Structures are given as structure tokens and as C-alpha cells.
Amino acid sequence: MTPADLTFDQQHIWHPYTSMTRPLPVYPVVSAAGCELQLADGRLLVDGMSSWWAAIHGYHHPRLNQAMKNQIDRMSHVMFGGITHPPAVALCQKLVAMTPDPLECVFLADSGSVAVEVAMKMALQYWHAKGQPRQRFLTFRNGYHGDTFGAMSICDPDNSMHSLWQGYLPEHLFAPAPQCGFEDDWDEMDIVPFARLMAAHRQEIAAVILEPVVQGAGGMRFYHPEWLRRIRKMCDREGILLIADEIATGFGRTGKLFACEHAGIAPDIMCLGKALTGGTMTLSATIATRDVAETISNGEAGCFMHGPTFMGNPLACAVAAESLSLLEESHWQAQVLTIEEQLKSGLRPLRDCEQVADIRVLGAIGVVETRHPVDMGALQAFFVEQGVWIRPFGRLIYLMPPYVITPEQLAKLIAAVAAAVENPAFFRR
């Protein structure tokens, strides 16, 4: 890439959550293999991000590449209306088999945010079909579910700047975020405000929607699984649907195949994305119970009212099916456990650093919460100098590497984080 390419990028291309007038630098990556990204100048960076929870098997995986090549030679895409194809059927058979038992009706879409829109729409249509329309969702503060308007309406009101969208976003119900951490003793008081909110609005709530156990982009917080068991019970008692957004947590990241398994519960609707294709292509799935699917189908509309152009894209389905086979055949539990142990032993000693407020590790996720917000531009440049790709935000520096990372590569990531938190220059007071 030439300097002119980078100038063009800066002047014409929006990157996630960036400004067109004050863009942060971007780093040109020209290839990726295993757990390394290669910059245009030839430098290799160890990847600590799995491209936002997605590339669990690492990059340039021969089996994933081959699955896409094979599918390209047959057909890259065909419409899904009135047509089906082997990759979609193969993928959905796997999804139905892997996910908790009552989930069996799959809707394929393009991205995580759309999977959340689909789940919300399913809940609304479910209640409409029952002849008792309900339009509100109950969720936690500090949640994150995507950037489309429906998804945004259930994201943390402060992080997602609900004030900016006032009058445009539907107003849902926000309970305080769980305080009882994953490894804490269960605290009965923690759930009281949530239970009160549900009781006060029990006739209006279509569904509870939450990220099970790990609140990701809204704060990287890990909460007690008892929360999920209690919420499942409350939802059952009131007949309210439970939607689990497993887009970030699904496919092993937390040490269980799905984070709901930490609590032994099944939701009525589950959203999957990110690692679904092993980080190669964009695809998501929303999976509902037969009861939800049949209720919707027997309602006034007579069908579920959604059908995107690229629904069930064969190329994405083929590589997703291969990625799930790869996961099933791998020793992902052992890999995630090994990563967890190394993250714990490497990050926990940083607790004593002046800049560090908290250290949290669960599965292949390691989080350093700092006392002050990071200077993103300066810290990013430092990490690149150290030969690692770590993308901090706010007061969070976190690692979620591909499951195939080696101990040496992970040690390099941890060492870079340790060096960063030693230097007050990387933090804004």
C-alpha cells in the first residue's frame, strides 16, 4: 500500500467508531496466517483480538480456505427464497445438534446486529400472534448487542448515547448490571432490582435479552451464572421469552461451547455470529424453539416477516459448517483452558500496578481494567512497536486470542500489556 492509499483511506473511508475529521491512524495489513497479521512493511504482529472474537482457528486455515474454494467453484450465492442448498442444510443440521436441545428452528442472516434484530422481531411477532401484543424488552445496563437501531435500543443507554437518538429509539427497561462476579459467592440482593423491574412490567415485557455470563463491548464484565438460572425461572413463571445473545460468547470462548451452559439453561431464542464462520465471512444465525417458531407461524402474518437478500449465503454457510467441524474435531476445551491458565498467571500479578483497577479472566478472555481511559492512539502505536495487535478501548485493555495461539505468542501479548500498564503516559487523567 502506498502513502497515497493511506491518505485516500483517511479522507474517504470510515472505520469503526471513528471521526472523518480527526481519524486515528490505521495500520495496513496485507495478509494474515496462523496467529499473526502481516503489515505492509513486512512486520508481523501476534494477534490478541481474533478480529473481534471471530478468528478462533487463526487465519489462513487450510481447511477453511479449501471449503470456500470448493464452494466458489459450485456457486458463491443464490437467493434463499424458494431455494435451498447443501451448505445451508449442512450448517443448520450442525447448529441444531450443537445448541441446547429446545432450540431447533434456524434463521440465517448477515451479521450479529441483524441476528439481534431478528430475535427481537421474533419476540414481537410471538406476542402479536398470541393476540396480546407486547413491545418492551428487559435487559441489563452495560450490555452491547449491535449498532442497528433495534439492537442499539437495548445497548447500555450511556455507552450507546441514547440521548442522541431520543424520540427515535424505543424505550426499553434497563436493570442495573449484575455486580456479583463470575467467581464471587452468590449475593441474593444482586437480583432484587431486576426482579422488581420485571414484576412491575410483567404484562408489557415481550422478552428478556442478555449476553449470558460475559458482557462484552459494554464493559467486559463477567457475572455469576446463578443470574441466568434465576432469570430463566422468572421468565418461565411469567411466560416471558428469554433471548441469549451468544454472538460474542458462542463457540467455546468462555470455556463452554455456549455461555448459557455455565448455568445449565436454554434460552427460547439464541443469537450466534462472529466465530460462526471461524472469522472468515460475515454470517449470523438466530435459533428459536419450535414453540416460538410455530406460534409466530400461526399468527396473523402467517410467516416470519424477514428475508434478507444474502440470507443463507452458500459461501458463508460452507465455511461455517467447516469451521464447526474443525471446532468439534479440535481440543478446544483444553486449548481454552490452557489460555485461561496462562492469562491468569500472566495478568493477575498486574493487579498491584498503579494504573490497574481490576483484572478479570474467563476462558480465553483476559481483561485489564485501568483506572483512567487509555490514550488509544499512543497505546496502539506502542503495541505495534512491540509486535502485537491489541486494540484497547475506554478503560479496557483485553486479550482474546485465537484458540490455536502458542504459549510463546501469548506470553508476548501478556508482556506487551504488562509493559503498557507500567507507563502512565498511555493513560489520560
- Hey, which residues are catalytic here? 17, 144, 245, 274
Residues ≥6 apart with Cβ < 8 Å to 203: 134
Q: Does 116 bind ligand PMP (CB under 6 A)?
A: yes
From 34, 157, 178, 216, residue interacting with ligand PMP (rule: CB under 6 A): 216
From 34, 48, 87, 146, residue interacting with ligand PMP (rule: CB under 6 A): 146
Site of grid cell 437495548: 154
Q: Does 286 bind ligand PMP (CB under 6 A)?
A: no
From 61, 128, 145, 262, residue interacting with ligand PMP (rule: CB under 6 A): 145
**363, 368, 364, 365: which is closest to 347 by C-alpha?**
368
Q: Are 166 and 130 in contact (CB under 8 A)?
A: no
Number of C-beta neighbours around residue 412 at 10 A: 17
Q: How far apart are CA 412 and CA 59, in angstroms?
A: 18
Residue 103 or 129 with smaller CB distance to ligand PMP: 103
Q: Does 217 bind ligand PMP (CB under 6 A)?
A: yes
Q: Hey, what amino acid is at 278?
A: G
CB of 245 to ligand PMP, least distance (A): 5
Q: How far apart are CA 139 and CA 147, in angstroms?
A: 16
Q: At what angle do helices 62-74 and 314-329 cross, to 10 degrees?
A: 150
Burial profile 396-408: b = 16 or more Cβ within 10 angstroms, e = fewer = bbbbbbbbbbeee
Q: Are 247 and 76 in contact (CB under 8 A)?
A: no
Site of grid cell 487465519: 59
CB of 70 to ligand PMP, least distance (A): 25
Q: Does 113 bind ligand PMP (CB under 6 A)?
A: yes
Q: Does 157 bind ligand PMP (CB under 6 A)?
A: no
From 211, 268, 322, 340, residue interacting with ligand PMP (rule: CB under 6 A): 211
Q: Does 248 bind ligand PMP (CB under 6 A)?
A: yes
Q: How far apart are CA 286 and CA 269, in angstroms?
A: 7
Q: Does 273 bind ligand PMP (CB under 6 A)?
A: yes
How deeply is 121 buried, as exposed, middle or buried, from its count of CB atoms within 10 A (0-12, 13-18, 19+)? middle
From 48, 58, 100, 112, residue interacting with ligand PMP (rule: CB under 6 A): 112
CB of 244 to ligand PMP, least distance (A): 10
Q: Does 100 bind ligand PMP (CB under 6 A)?
A: no
Number of residues that bind ligand PMP (CB under 6 A): 15
Residue 92 or 109 with smaller CB distance to ligand PMP: 109
Residue 276 or 414 with smaller CB distance to ligand PMP: 276
Residue 37 or 115 with smaller CB distance to ligand PMP: 115
Site of grid cell 472523518: 20
Measured over the CA atoms of residue 40, residue 41, residue 44 and residue 46, the dihedral's sign is: negative
Residue 282 or 386 with smaller CB distance to ligand PMP: 282
Stretch that binds ligand PMP, among 120-128, 244-252, 327-335, 366-374 (CB under 6 A): 244-252
Chain residues in the site for ligand PMP (CB under 6 A): 52, 111-113, 116, 144-146, 211, 216-217, 245, 247-248, 273
